[in-house]
Chains A and B, each alone.
Chain A
Amino acid sequence: MLSIKNLHVSIDGKEILKGINLEVKPGEVHAIMGPNGAGKSTLASVLAGRDLYEVTEGEIVFQGKDVLDMAPEDRAKEGIFLGFQYPIEIPGVSTVNFMKTAVNEHRKHKGLAPLTASDFLKLMRDKKNLVEIDSKLTNRSVNEGFSGGEKKKNEIFQMAMLEPKLAVLDETDSGLDIDALRVVANGVNKLKTAENSTIVITHYQRLLDYIVPDVVHVLFDGRIVKTAGKELALELEEKGYDWIKEENGK
């Protein structure tokens, strides 16, 4: 599904990712943890094609295709979805219009005709129910004036609408209240199939009680320094990152 090899990334000449290797197979859930500033969001952004960052070395292959040459919208249409750590507000653009454009672009890419207005609204309704998001939110402009938690819910709603093959959820759990966390996690689980994969970036073991990872990675100072099963998350919760820092000579 996804294969990242020796990925080096810089911004303004400063190296942030220093040789990432990551393999994700269909149906797997990977968790990426690590201290603030380690480079988790950078990795997610580079995967989605943000051109702010310069890839100086390495490769990203997604479903057999070299991703680094692809425009961000093409990566999205190929099935990569990024749940933003800080979702962006787009005043004046209605969520309906935004999602209709996005869904139909995805359909066009697959050689399908655009959805009729009534089919689209039905799809909206189904997915809203699935992720338990209030119509009051989806009737507004994209993320405009949404609370932190509402924005995160909206990310999951969009993911449900677009049915990606690979979802990268960057701290989707932070800012959610306990009920919302459960709802969002349920949404993610309901959308899981044997074919699609998920990368969850999180600071908290709590989320991983709901979305159970197959593999947990620790990203530290631009490198993946530890990879293990889900018990690693518990260990981190207990011990923090100091021991990792020591092991890596910092």
Chain B
Amino acid sequence: MAKEEQDKILDEVTQSDYKYGFVTDIENDDIGKGLSEDVIRMISAKKNEPEFMLEFRLKAYRHWLTMKMPEWAYLKIPPIDYQDIIFYSAPKQKAKLESMDDVDPEIRATFDKLGIPLDEQKLLANVAVDVVMDSSSVKTTFKQALAEKGVIFCSFSDAVQEHPDLIQEYMGTVVPVQDNFFAALNSAVFSDGSFVYIPKGVRCPMELSTYFRINAENTGQFERTLIVCEDDSYVSYLEGCTAPMRDENQLHAAIVEIIVKDNAEVKYSTVQNWYPGNKEGKGGIYNFVTKRGICQGVNSKLMWAQVETGSAVTWKYPSTILKGDGSSSEFYSVAVTNNHQQADTGSKMIHIGNNTKSTIISKGISAGKSSNSYRGLVKVTKNCEGARNFSQCDSLLLGDKCGAHTFPYLEIGNKSAKVEHEATTSKIGEDQIFYCNQRGISTEDAIGLIVNGYAKEVINKMPMEFAVEAQKLLAISLEGSVG
């Protein structure tokens, strides 16, 4: 294809408009811009938190002050002014919600637009939903049905009030406050999120899902998810994220902690579609996330499945500590970057227990002028016998202005370990597109077919209802991009 032709088509890359970019007009309760010990005390007071929470926050904050933003990632990020961010903003609501009718109609309309009906009758069969708008949880559905099984699924704030002992026991045990710059920041200022507790021997009877939405302006979102699975239990959990289109960048720094005990199993799926910024790279969410699980018990299992299409910048490495003997973890990821998006993402698998097994399947898709890096670590500790890992990192390029990079790190401390790494880079060829065109398939549809074929292995791991959504999202994020 002639160069100008190619440039022309590349310029069309950005035709897909972000359809979740509306703003909901509701009254917010915020505490103004800036960060200080006083701000943290104010957040804690507003949430009526017990003393241990305030201490946890202050400890994290004091540590954060001594830290610097990490610079090792393959990302270009302008300096962030933390005094210019509002650290707490919540939709104003009357008292406590007892039924759906108490939810602000504007908020309900928002979630309807996002395709997330809050009405329990209208919900996808067997999915319980928690929604977090800006900093606070709006509504958790199916609470009652779950309670009968002893499953706790509620907002983090409610958990702090109603189950402080569990929070105190587990919070910060997988991701300590001093873990990294963004984890420390989150621990200091986090406002809400979800809490899941599955008691011993219980298979959670439905998918649990949380939708996060940033709505207010100049606001950072710092949510925290904690999942505890007792012996012989099972849960499948899904999170989805969207945000309005705004010209300034917004900060999102989340923490996810997962504890999996003997023979228990957790599936954690993510559909991340934060606003990616406009075609010129203006605006968009800075997404700095620390997600980590520990397979604490013998034969425990943790699976991560994610489809990531949003955010201006993504910095995210879901990790598993394989501590229990015979425990295993799998990581399946599709990360799409388009226009000026930048992603530095991957996974870490830390093998400690004997005969532990991990799999990493990472599929990067880059289009436009974006940059998409895989960064992964496989670590086998000295006393770990019989560890096995298989990693496969594939990159698919659309056009020649985007970049893909792979940074695999191996730290193998025990000779018995078997570790395999495979990597491929391919391009959607113009000849493939033409072949599809010649059979009557439009270029958009052809890209959809090829990309979904490429990502099939990962999409198949998502819960069924969301696999369809994920497929559509892939096609939408790449609309117009041919190389």
Contacts and interface: CB of A to CB of B under 8 A. Distances in A.
Interface string A76-96: 110001101001111111100
Contacts of A162: 439-440
Given A76-B440, A98-B449, A106-B440, A92 B456 contact: yes
A23 B110 CA distance: 60
Interface string B436-469: 1111111101000110011010000000000000
A237 interface: no
Nearest to B396: A92
A98 B435 CA distance: 11
A77 to B, nearest CB: 5
Given A48-B434, A82-B438, 7 more contacts: A73-B442, A92-B453, A93-B453, A101-B441, A102-B440, A102-B441, A158-B439
Interface in A47-85: 48-52, 54, 71-73, 76-77, 81-82, 84
A206 interface: no
A92 B454 contact: yes
Given A51-B5, A98-B449, A101-B445, A90 B438 contact: no
Contact of A88 (B432, B440, B453, B454): B432
A105 B441 contact: yes
B50 interface: no
A98 B441 CA distance: 9
A50 B434 contact: yes
Interface residues of A, number: 33
B2 interface: yes
Contacts of A92: 450, 453-454, 456
Contacts of A73: 436-438, 440-443
A138 interface: no
Closest 10 pairs (CB-CB, A-B): A92-B453, A72-B437, A102-B439, A88-B435, A93-B453, A76-B440, A105-B440, A73-B437, A77-B440, A92-B454
B280 interface: no
A77 B1 CA distance: 23
Given A51-B5, A88-B435, A93 B440 contact: no
Interface residues of B, number: 24
B201 interface: no
A36 interface: no
B452 to A, nearest CB: 8
Q: Is the interface of B mostly helix, strand, loop or mixed?
A: helix
Contacts of B435: 84, 87-88, 90
Contacts of B436: 73, 90, 98, 102
B105 interface: no
Among A12, A49, A98, A162, which residue has the most Cβ atoms of chain B within 10 A? Answer: A98
B38 interface: no
B439 A98 contact: yes
B439 A71 contact: no
B34 interface: no
A23 to B, nearest CB: 23
B1 A51 contact: yes
A141 interface: yes
Contacts of B454: 91-92
B478 to A, nearest CB: 15
A113 B454 CA distance: 28
Contacts of B449: 90, 93, 97-98, 101
A92 B438 CA distance: 19
Contacts of A12: 2
Nearest to A106: B440
A94 B438 contact: no
B429 interface: yes
A109 interface: yes
